[in-house]
Structure 1
Amino acid sequence: MELQQMRYVVAVAETGGFTRAAGRCHVVQSALSHQIARLEKELGARLFERTSRTVRLTAAGEAFLPVARQALEAAERARAEVAAAIGEVRGRLAVGAISTVSAVDLARALGDFRTRYPQVQIRLLMEMTESLVEKVRDGALDVAFIGMVPSARNPGVGEKELTRTELVAVVPPGHPLAGREWTTLARVARETFVDFTAGSAARRQRDDAFRAAGLDSEVAFEVTTVEFLAKLVRAGLGIGMVPETIAAGLPGLHAVRVRPAPERTERVVWSARGPSPAALAFLSAVGVDPG
Structure 2
Amino acid sequence: MELQQMRYVVAVAETSNFTRAAERCLVVQSALSHQIARLERELGARLFERTSRRVRLTAAGEAFLPAARQALEAAERARAEVAAAGGVIRGRLAIGAISTVAAVDLPAVLKRFRRRHREVRISLRTSPSEELVERVRQGTLDVAFLGLPLGVRPTGVHGREIARDDLVAVVAPDHPLADQEDVDVRRLAEETFVDFPAGTAGRAHSDAAFAAAGIRREVAFEVTAAALMARLIRQGLGIGMLPSAFVPELPDLRVVRLRDAPARIEHVVWSRSQPSPAATAFLSALDISPAER
TM-score, normalised on structure 2? 0.91
What per-residue deviation string (whole Å, max 9, x for no partner) do you get for residues 188-230 of structure 1?
1221111112222222222233233333221111112111100
Aligned residue runs from structure 1 range 1-291, under 5 A: 1-291=1-291
- Is the Cα contact below 8 Å between 1:158 and 1:269 reproduced in 2? yes
1:34-93 deviation line (CA, Å, top 9, x unaligned)? 322332333333333334333333333333222222222211111111112222212222
SS in 2 for 1:168: strand
Which residue identity lines up with residue 117 of structure 2 in the other structure? Y
Cα deviation, residue 9, structure 1: 2.3
Shift in alpha-carbon separation, 1:202–1:17, aligned structure 2, 3 A: farther
1:241-272 deviations in whole A, cap 9, x for unaligned? 11111112202211111132222222222222
- Whole-angstrom distance in 1 between the partners of 2:56 and 2:102: 38
Count residues in correspondence: 291
Distance 1:147 1:238 in 2: 23
RMSD across aligned C-alpha pairs, in angstroms?
2.0
Identity of aligned residues (%): 65
Q: Deviations over 1:123-161 (max 9, x none)?
A: 222333343333323333222222222333433332222
CA shift for structure 1 position 238 = 0.3
- Bigger drift between 50-59 and 117-126 goes to 50-59
Q: 2:15, 2:104 → 1: CA distance?
A: 31
SS in 2 for 1:174: coil
- Contact 1:143–1:279 (CA under 8 A) maintained in structure 2: yes
- The change in CA–CA distance for 1:93 and 1:34 in structure 2 (over 3 A counts) is same
Task: Give the residue type in structure 2 aligned to 1:213.
Answer: A
CA contact (8 A) 1:206 1:262 kept: yes
Residues 207, 42 of structure 1: CA spacing in aligned structure 2 closer, same or farther, 3 A cutoff? Answer: farther
**Using the alignment, how far apart are the partners of 2:114 and 2:258 within structure 1?**
40
Long gaps (5+) in structure 1: none
Q: Does the aligned pair in 2 maintain the 1:73–1:139 contact within 8 Å?
A: no
Q: 1:205 and 1:152 mapped to 2: Cα distance?
A: 11
In the alignment, structure 2 segments of 5+ residues that lack a partner are none
Report the more deviating stretch, 233-242 or 111-120.
Answer: 111-120
Deviations 1:72-129 (A, max 9, x none): 2211111111112222212222222222111111111111112212222222223333
Distance 1:233 1:267 in 2: 27
Q: Do the aligned partners of residues 7 and 265 (structure 1) sit closer, same or farther apart at CA in structure 2, a change above 3 Å counting?
A: farther
TM-score with structure 1 length normalisation? 0.91
Q: Distance in 2 between matches of 1:205 and 1:61?
A: 42
Does the Cα contact within 8 Å between 1:248 and 1:255 map onto a contact in 2? no
* Residue identity opposite 2:57 in structure 1: L
Q: 1:236 to 1:129 in 2, by over 3 A?
A: same
CA distance in 2, matches of 1:19, 1:107: 35
Matched AA of 1:122: I
One-letter amino acid of the counterpart of residue 67, structure 1: A
- Stretch moving more, 184-193 or 45-54: 45-54
Whole-Å Cα distance in 2 between the matches of residues 289 and 143 of structure 1? 13
- Deviations, residues 5-43 of structure 1 (Å, cap 9, x unaligned): 222222223333333222222222222233223323333
Partners of 2:72 and 2:150 lie apart in 1 by 34
SS at match of 2:249: coil
Inter-CA distance 217–116: structure 2 relative to 1 (3 Å threshold) = same
